[in-house]
Amino acid sequence: MIVSTGLKGVIWVGCKSCPDNVGVDTPSRVTTYVNRNCSDIKVAVRTDIQEHPDIIILDISIADFSFLVINLYNDSNNSVIPALMNAKLPDLPTCITGDFNLHHDMWSAGDSAPSHSGKAEDLVDWMTLNGFTLLNQKGEVTFTHQKQTSVLDLTWLNDKALMDDQFQNWQIREDLDIGSDHLPVTWEVDLDGFRPPDQEEGIFNFKEEHEEAWIAALSTIMPTHVPLSYLDDTDISKLDLNIVITGFMDTLSEATSWTIPHKKFSAKANPWWTDELKTALQRIRKLRLELKQERAHHGQHSEETLSKYHKANNFFKHLVKAAKKKWAMDFASTVELDKVWKLTNWFKGVRWHTSPPIKKPSGEMATTTEDKCLLFRDTFFPPPAILPDTFHSDFSIPHETTRQFTDVTDHEIDTAIRDTSNTSAPSFSKVPYRAIKWAWASHRYPGINSSYVQTRV
């Protein structure tokens, strides 16, 4: 079960890789993937609401808007339904989604669907009582396994989520199918009114071919932000130094916005993806469509088409493994010797580890990152005790003379900048170290043609 939202790539994946018996040592069967480029979106795992290996409750917030997404997997023992019903949900827009593994007349397909169980009836009663509405269309298949088809993957919204029509465009996406028994289900959250405007365009895509244009823009823009008289002043005051620093940072940002394109994100941006994989995936989707059409016209699908579908699915998985291995070996064979240890980052990955809620001394729970930071600060670094007013300073005594400022040579600056990494995260201004190196190069080797930006001034 895959649920994808319109939050620039926030994705939840429900996984069924564990045995049906749920015990203390059972690993979680639901996981969450959050795009690291969604810097304006904050995600907190709310285990204080309910802690269960088959339920994950996410509190997602942007600016002043927050909502809950509850992703679950209900196994054949229906162990997750009582846990969901016992959860005390906060008064927030809430979406409950996942593989419910239940049949009911409200969503099951036709007369041939299995009769609903008591657990399914209890679920419907609880959802109705708590103001949840089912988004699935009755009979629209979400699960296909051999000759069996059914509706197992459900999405529910409460009244608050439906009120402002921010959860939109729920649909089953056969075009995103990659051979799983469960069809992908997607929906979107409209946050245009809550997303800060300076965060919408994403990060900049710095490449070496942009260097000349960027330096030219820097040279042209610099005088408009930093008065040249400040740069020639050898005895600059602290106030003037702050003006120079602020102006220089504004220059970097403006030169970047003029000349550097924004990085475009793609769900299919896999370096190992090949045309052969694309053709194999298209064959899988075509055969799945044929199976669907056969069931619609004849009530069942043919054994021949089903066999072709399974063979195409297995062939695609084989191709994926081979393509990933080939790309990895080709990349490893061309890596520079001094960067060979960076290959270990492949299996480490870059992950977000969200800590669970922490109980405050008052008994309340700290769920947001800010609340947790304040709690840790006050616990480990409490404010110092107030000392009795017995110490008096004599400010008439002059302080010792401070040390003279030592000039920094070009060689020292060059050495410090050269050791910085071009792959490190950019600052709040979104200007990475690569741009700082370009700016330093323009200082050391002036004279680059600035005709590129003459029309912009």
Q: Let me know if residue 384 belongs to a domain.
A: no
With respect to residue 269, please indicate whether it lies within any of the assigned structural domains.
Answer: no
CATH number at residue 39: 3.60.10.10
**72 lies in the same domain as 182:** yes
413 plus 333 within the same structural domain = no
Q: Looking at residues 145-153, what average pLDDT do you find?
A: 81
Q: Which amino acid is at 330?
A: D
**Taking Cα atoms as reference points, which of 127, 24, 22 lies closest to residue 85?**
127
CB atoms within 10 A of CB 253: 19
pLDDT band at residue 319, thresholds of 50, 70 and 90?
very high
Lowest mean pLDDT among 73-77, 263-267, 340-344, 374-378: 263-267
- pLDDT of 457 strictly over 60: no
Instruction: Judge if 295 and 439 occupy the same domain.
Output: no
How many domains is the chain built from? Answer: 3
Domain-ending residue, one of 180, 197, 214: 197
Q: Name the pLDDT band for 445 (thresholds 50, 70, 90).
A: low
pLDDT score, position 100: 92
Residues 180 and 211 both lie in one domain: no
Most confident of 9-18, 263-272, 310-319: 310-319
pLDDT digits (tens, 9 = 90+) for 227-284: 766 666 566 777 777 888 888 888 888 888 888 888 765 645 678 888 899 899 889 8
Contact 441, 215 (CB under 8 A): yes
Residues 243 and 224 in one domain: yes
Lowest mean pLDDT among 32-36, 231-235, 358-362: 231-235
State the pLDDT confidence band at 396, using cuts at 50, 70 and 90. Answer: low
> pTM of the full predicted structure?
0.65
Q: Domain limits at 445?
A: 204-264+405-456
The predicted structure's pLDDT at residue 127: 92
Residue 234 lies in a domain: yes
Using H for helix, E for strand and C for coil, what is the string for the chain? CEEECCCCCCEEEECCCCCCCCCCCCCCCEEEECCCCCCCCEEEECCCCCCECCEEEEEEEECCEEEEEEEEECCCCCCHHHHHHHCCCCCCCEEEEEECCCCCCCCCCCCCCCCCCHHHHHHHHHHHHCCEEECCCCCCCCEEECCEEECCEEEEEEHHHHHCCCEEEEEECHHHCCCCCECCEEEEECCCCCCCHHHCCCCECCCHHHHHHHHHHHHHHHHHHCCHHHHHCCCCCHHHHHHHHHHHHHHHHHHHHHHCCECCCCCCCCCCCCHHHHHHHHHHHHHHHHHHHHHHHHCCCCHHHHHHHHHHHHHHHHHHHHHHHHHHHHHHHHCCHHHHHHHHHHHHCCCCCCCCCEECCCCCEECCHHHHHHHHHHHHCCCCCCCCCCCCCCCCCCCCCCCCCCCCCHHHHHHHHHCCCCCCCCCCCCCCHHHHHHHHHHHHCCCCCCHHHHHHC
Q: Pick the residue with more confidence: 344 or 70?
A: 70
What is the reported pLDDT for 110?
64
pLDDT of res. 276: 92
Same domain, 156 and 85: yes
pLDDT surpasses 50 at 362: yes
Domain-ending residue, one of 333, 348, 363: 348
Same domain, 297 and 254: no
Residue 398 inside a domain? The answer is: no
122 found inside a domain: yes
Residue 389's pLDDT band (cuts 50, 70, 90): low
30 belongs to a structural domain: yes
Mean pLDDT of the chain: 78
Distances (CA, A) of 49 to 127, 156, 228, 375: 17, 18, 59, 20
Q: Which residue has the higher pLDDT, 13 or 102?
A: 102
Do residue 35 and residue 156 come from a single domain?
Answer: yes
Q: Indicate if 450 and 412 belong to the same structural domain.
A: yes
Do 14 and 86 belong together in one domain? yes
pLDDT at 3 over 50: no
**Domain membership flag for residue 356:** no
Which of 332, 348, 364 finishes a domain? Answer: 348
Q: pLDDT value at position 18?
A: 39
- Going by C-alpha positions, the residue among 454, 410, 453, 418 that lies closest to residue 438 is 418
Reply yes or no on whether the pLDDT at 78 is more than 90: no
C-alpha–C-alpha distance, residues 310 and 416, integer Å: 58
Mean pLDDT, rounded, for 48-72: 88
Indicate if 343 and 418 belong to the same structural domain.
Answer: no
Tell me the per-residue pLDDT of 189-219, one tens digit each, with 9 for 90 and over.
876 655 555 444 567 888 888 888 888 888 8
Q: Identify the pLDDT of residue 442.
A: 77
Closest CA to 131 of 104, 100, 165, 156: 156
Lowest mean pLDDT among 1-10, 104-113, 145-154, 368-377: 1-10
β partners of residue 58 = 45, 69
Give pLDDT, residue 16. 44
The answer to the question of residue 147 being in a domain is yes
Both 91 and 26 in a single domain? yes
